[in-house]
Structure 1
Amino acid sequence: MKRKIYLLVSILMLSLAAFSAKAGSLEPKTLDKETIANMTEEQKQARIEEIKERVEEIRAMDKSKMSKTERKELRVELKEMKKEAQALGAGGIYLSLGAVIVIILVLILIL
């Protein structure tokens, strides 16, 4: 009797471990800040180009035939790529409305 209980418990533990291992492998891999800091400018530009190509591939996909989980995975991938691109320095210059008004006023005063 003890032997059957140990066998059932061990099978249960192994099956639960397999589910958690699979769930952990679905996370998209991203570059950390330390890796980005050690990259050269050419490597950064190459990675940015790879990200742009992947985004264009995703935009060209027919998402109506995808399941809900596939669309969710694409959203997660896009968010991770956006964070990575911002860390690589692919962002732009952002001006607030107040800054634009101040610049216009200064230009009016100068001219």
Structure 2
Amino acid sequence: MKKIAYFLSMLMLLTAIAPVAIASDKPADKEPSPEEQARLEQLDERVKEIKAMDFKAMDKEERKEIRNELREINKEAKALGGGVYISAGALIVILILLIILT
């Protein structure tokens, strides 16, 4: 029984810590600079323009170009935006601690 408890506790620990170790080196607390914020707004406007387009009137090649452009916009926005991510294991541990401590 002790082996199972030990195994499960290590599994929970690794599940909670692994995504943090894999995350990018960019600090999550960093706010985007005014230039980055302006670029994010430009990307957002372009996405809105693309969503307003009529795809049925386009041929296959044009739709493919738009799809590739959206993928590039998504990659660039993720690189500029950063963010904070919590793994499922960490979320479960936090909830259990909140339940136990209250």
- Whether TM-score is above 0.5 comes out as yes
Q: TM-score, length-normalised on structure 1?
A: 0.59
Partner of 2:60: 68
**How many equivalent residue pairs?**
71
Q: Quote the Cα distance in structure 2 between the aligned partners of 1:95 and 1:59.
A: 30
String of CA shifts for 1:15-54, please: whole Å, max 9, x gaps. xxxxxxxxxxxxxxxxxxxxxxxxx811000000000010
Q: TM-score, length-normalised on structure 2?
A: 0.64
Partner of 1:103: 94
Shift of 1:72: 0.4
Shift of 1:100: 1.5
Q: Quote the Cα distance in structure 2 between the aligned partners of 1:95 and 1:65.
A: 42
Q: Quote the Cα distance in structure 2 between the aligned partners of 1:99 and 1:64.
A: 44
Structure 1 regions of 5+ residues with no counterpart? 1-39
Instruction: Note the aligned Cα RMSD (angstroms).
Output: 1.5
Shift of 1:96: 2.4
Q: Quote the Cα distance in structure 1 between the aligned partners of 2:59 and 2:89.
A: 44
Identical residues among aligned pairs (%): 54
Q: Quote the Cα distance in structure 1 between the aligned partners of 2:71 and 2:50.
A: 12
Structure 2 regions of 5+ residues with no counterpart? 1-31
Q: Secondary structure of the residue that 2:95 maps to in structure 1? A: helix
Q: Quote the Cα distance in structure 1 between the aligned partners of 2:39 and 2:45.
A: 10
Q: Quote the Cα distance in structure 1 between the aligned partners of 2:41 and 2:52.
A: 17
Farther off after superposition, 90-99 or 58-67: 90-99
Of 65, 87, 91, which aligns to 2:79? 87
Larger Rg: 1
Runs (4+) of structure 1 exceeding 6 A deviation are: none
